Every structure is written in C-alpha cells, then in structure tokens.
Amino acid sequence: MRSEEEPAEVPRWLEPDEEEAWVSLTGLLLKLPAALDSDLRQHAGISHFEYLILSVLSETENHAMPMGELAILANSSPSRMTYAVARLEKKGWIYRRPDARNARFTLAHLTDDGVAFLRRIAPGHVATVRALVFDALDAGQVRQLDTLAKAILDKITTSDEWPPRSTRHGRPDTW
C-alpha cells in the first residue's frame, strides 16, 4: 500500500478481462456475506459473525479460545468480538473465564448448549452454502476456487496458513 505522500505513478489500469473479474469478485464479496447473514438470521436467529464464533470454538481444543485470538481469526475488533460474545453468552451458548495459565487473558468457552445449538443449525447453514456456492460449480471449478482463494489470501494474510489448523471446521459428529 502506498501513502499519499509518495509520488504519483502512472496507474496500471485493469485490463478489460481483469476489470470484469474484479467487478464479479466485488459483487461476490458484497452479496455472499449478506445472503449468508440473512439466511442465518431468518432460520437460526443469529448473524453469520455469531455463527463463525460458535463454529470456530467448536473446532478448538476444549471448545475454548482466548478472546484476542478469536477476534484476530474473525478479522474483528476486540470490542465487536466482546459485544458478539456477550450476546451469545446471554443465550447460554458461551461463557467467559480468565485463562488459568495467564489471568491477563480471557477465554471464550462454548457450552454444551452452544454445541447442541450449533449441531441443530449447522446442517441448514451447510445446505445454504452448498446451494449458493458449490451447486453452481463443477468439481474442477471447486478446485480452481480453492486455488484462487488461497493465492489471494497469500497476498493479504500475514500468517503462514489460513485458517489455522486448530480451527479448521469439521463435521458436527467430530464436535
């Protein structure tokens, strides 16, 4: 990224095929999250962001993670994460406690009720993801999507892998 003080360079404008792909990608980035959020709010009464929190915790050891790490993983500010976890805590799906190893950190824990809720709503969410994304693609396109997404993530992600292996989403029968 350039700062505004740097001398202006001649812009390297997008080629027509790049511009077309960029407009399509921008539409996907805007419309897919909104569609997933709308579906989850309608069918489960939670946002896609809240689903992500529950899902990530379901895949971690002991269903727990430091709040700061959870915020980083969800690309969230600490205050947004705190607010969302507080909403989930009121529903009985998460609780927070100081980390026994370092009391400066707070751990978010998924409760048994949270696991049960996630097991109940995950099939519907997966059906929506399948309908909106994977049913539109053949097997080769799915592999291409994975390759393309990883190539772009490599340019914008500071860690070596995304998502971290400790938070890879499995099937509900592994929770």
Q: What is the DSSP string of 53-117?
A: HHHHHHTSGGGEEEHHHHHHHTT--HHHHHHHHHHHHHTTSEEEEE-SS-TTSEEEEE-HHHHHH
pLDDT reported for residue 166: 52
- The answer to whether position 47 is within a domain reads yes
pLDDT reported for residue 15: 96
Contact (CB, 8 A) for 67 and 105: yes
- The answer to whether position 1 is within a domain reads no
- The answer to whether position 152 is within a domain reads no
- Parallel, antiparallel, or unpaired: how do β-strands 64-66 and 94-98 relate? unpaired
End-to-end CA separation in angstroms for the chain: 41
- The answer to whether position 54 is within a domain reads yes
Where in the sequence is the domain holding 47, given as residue range(s)? 40-131
Q: Which of 121, 120, 116, 98 is nearest to 108 (CA)?
A: 98
- The answer to whether position 91 is within a domain reads yes
Q: What are the tokens at 108?
A: 């978010």
pLDDT reported for residue 4: 62
pLDDT reported for residue 9: 84
* Domain count for the chain: 1
- The answer to whether position 158 is within a domain reads no
Give the rounded distance of the alpha carbon of 7 from its chain centre. Answer: 37
In sequence order, what are the residues at sequence separation of 6 or more whose Cβ sits closer than 8 angstroms to the Cβ of residue 152?
A: none
- Look up the CATH number of the domain holding residue 49: 1.10.10.10
- The answer to whether position 18 is within a domain reads no
Output the pTM of the full model.
Answer: 0.83
Q: State which amino acid sits at residue 44.
A: A
Q: What is the mean pLDDT of each run of 10 residues along the chain (175 residues)?
A: 69 95 97 97 97 95 92 90 97 95 92 97 97 97 96 81 54 54
- The answer to whether position 144 is within a domain reads no
Q: What is the residue whose two structure tokens read 């600490």?
A: 78
Instruction: Give how far Cα 162 sits from Cα of 7, 75, 78, 154, Å.
Output: 34, 12, 20, 9
